[in-house]
Structure 1
Amino acid sequence: MIKLIVSDLDGTLLGFDKKIKEEDKRAIQLAIENGIDFAVASGRMDIEILEVLKEIEQKAHRVSQNGAYIYTKTDVSLHSAAFEPDIARQIYKEAKQLEAIVLVCNENTNFIEEMNEHVSELQKRLFYGLCEVPNMSGTIGADILPSKITVLAENEVITSFQQQIMERFGDVVDTFISEPRCLDIMPKNISKGNALRSLMNHLDVQPEETACFGDAFNDIPMFRLTPYSFVMSHAHPDVKKEARYIVDSVSEAVQIILTEINQPNLTQK
């Protein structure tokens, strides 16, 4: 029986317009009404997850920035993590050599060294604007303790840079392609999977009692934790092969949980 549903946001529960489909919203509400706990796991900041939850009109456990931060639905902090400043500075300087947008993120702010027309398009997808910080390298470790560095560029650039970073810093960082043309660089052992494991331990929920929904490479660590993993049908083939179920929407995944996986329990009621 599924007791906990964990959903990714962008590309899964959340559209590029920052909206949730009505059928997905109703599905999450129905799952909660049926006694299933709900969590969100995203590369976004916690304050952005809270904005999404306002639309659902529900409280939820929250895994933000790919697992750097974990909060329960009662706002108890279970985990937080940040880079060693010297490592963050080195990675940032290398990323700035690319033809790319580079964001430095702490828990509640996305920072950028210089605004331009490309950044304006990016801001349309954010719930909170970017904060411009000249001389970013000098600020890292002083005023900013980064928990994530995001590089936005063409896929070929992203793939090459990911390999470069793992070769040089693989003992102290992990990397995830969280969506096309987007590379997230995290402190070592920070992932949605490790965060979900911590949350499950806190809630005393077992892997076979957990279902997770996602669509990107940073969701794979979650998929590997539970036999009930649901991937969106638009996902990359390498992501699809990591999940048990392929679905078109969150509402379809919830329907499978309520009518097939949890059906014996519902029948007993």
Structure 2
Amino acid sequence: MDDIRMIVTDMDGTFLNSKHQVSPDFPIVYEELRKRNILFVPASGRQMTGITKYFGDIENDMAFIAENGGYVIYKNKELFADRLEPTYIAEIIREIRTIPGATAVLSGKKKAYVDTDNEEFISYISQFYTINEKIEDLTQEIDDRIFKIAVYHPEGSELNVYPVLKEFEKYNLEIVVSGKHWLDIMNKDINKGNALEKLQDALDISPQQTMAFGDYMNDIEMLKNSRYSYAMKNAHPSVKEAACFEACTNDNFGVLKIIKDYLDLR
């Protein structure tokens, strides 16, 4: 295996276990990565603060890819921030309202926005969107840079949401199933893979020097931009097809096991 200079990992279903916990071994592993000048990069559909909250003081030395590639920072400096065209948002929100059981979240730079009265749902999304606000109507223009529209469906987004919303690809938008219950709508070419490329270019790190881990369809471009690409054992079949290697499940902290093997940590 060539010298690795960057390790990038999805969060939910990949780096975190099913209880959204970090492996207790991570601090030891991270210290070894730091000594070897290997950059650790969490990459998620989550809001930026929904990712950084797991890393405490070391976040100042890390890079983060948030909003499925719509927002990238390195050592607390912004490298990239996208903006979803407000013109399309209202039309898409109205279409989402026609889908029984679907709930929309607008994810912005300042905070995330919902217009549901379902307190249980708001509590649930607060683990991903730690700064959020309930507003009267998501079809009204908001004074914020909106990165994406996230759509939740309790019975699954791939079958219940994607078939209805894929028509909005006509507006040059990316419609991607990002989890069992989630679908994300972003500008075309906004994905974790292109965000990773921006980071690689900025730091002069090649795909051959990159290791990546993922479990769902929104991770595929990121895996393709990494020589050492791993699908979790619990990953969607299309992700396993895209990856070169397989790691054990997120509940067995498969990401850490692979990294420890690479670092020869026992």
What TM-score do you get using the length of structure 1 for normalisation? Answer: 0.87
1:95 partnered with 2:96? yes
Letter of the 2:233 counterpart: S
Q: Which residue of 1 aligns with 2:251?
A: none
**Residue 262 of structure 2: aligned partner:** 257
CA deviation profile, 1:196-241 (whole Å, cap 9, x unmatched): 0000000000110011111111111111112201121111122111
Partner residue, 1:82: 83
Contact persistence 2:153–2:161 (CA under 8 A): no
Shift of 1:182: 0.7
Aligned length: 257
Q: Deviations over 1:228-264 (max 9, x none)?
A: 011211111221111111112111220343249xxxx
- Asked if the contact 1:51–1:127 (Cα under 8 Å) also holds between the matched residues in 2, the reply is no
Q: Counterparts of 2:102 and 2:228 in 1: how far apart (Å)?
A: 36
Structure 1: distance between partners of 2:49 and 2:85 = 23
Mapped to 2, the partners of 1:124 and 1:70 lie a distance apart of: 21
Contact 1:177 1:184 in 2 (8 A): yes
Identity %: 27
Partner of 1:207: 207
Counterpart for residue 163 of structure 1: 163
Unaligned runs of 5+ in 2: 249-253
SS at match of 2:34: helix
Task: For residue 106 of structure 2, give the secondary structure of its aligned residue in structure 1.
Answer: strand
Instruction: Report the more deviating stretch, 242-251 or 197-206.
Output: 242-251
For 2:58 and 2:211, the matched residues in 1 are separated by 19
Rounded Cα–Cα distance in structure 1 between residues aligned with 2:97 and 2:198:
34
1:164 offset after TM fit, Å? 3.2
Matching residue of 2:17? 15
Partners of 1:13 and 1:179 in 2: how far apart? 14
Q: CA deviation at 1:118?
A: 4.0
Which range moved further: 8-17 or 35-44? 8-17
Partner amino acid for 2:161?
F
1:178-208 deviations in Å (ceiling 9; x for gaps): 2111111111110000000000000000110
Contact 1:17–1:125 (8 Å) recurs in 2? no
> Structure 1 residues 124, 79: closer, same or farther in 2, change over 3 A?
closer
The alignment yields a C-alpha RMSD, in angstroms, of: 2.2
* Residue 122 (structure 1) aligned with residue 124 (structure 2): yes
* Structure 1 residues not aligned, in runs of 5+: 261-269
Separation (CA, whole Å) in 1 of partners of 2:148 and 2:235: 23
Matches within 5 A, 1:166-177: 166-177=166-177
Inter-partner Cα distance in structure 2 for 1:128 and 1:157: 22
With over 3 angstroms needed to count, the CA separation of the structure-2 counterparts of 1:155 and 1:168, relative to structure 1, is same
Relative to structure 1, the CA distance from residue 9 to residue 82 in structure 2 (aligned partners, 3 Å threshold; closer, same or farther) is same
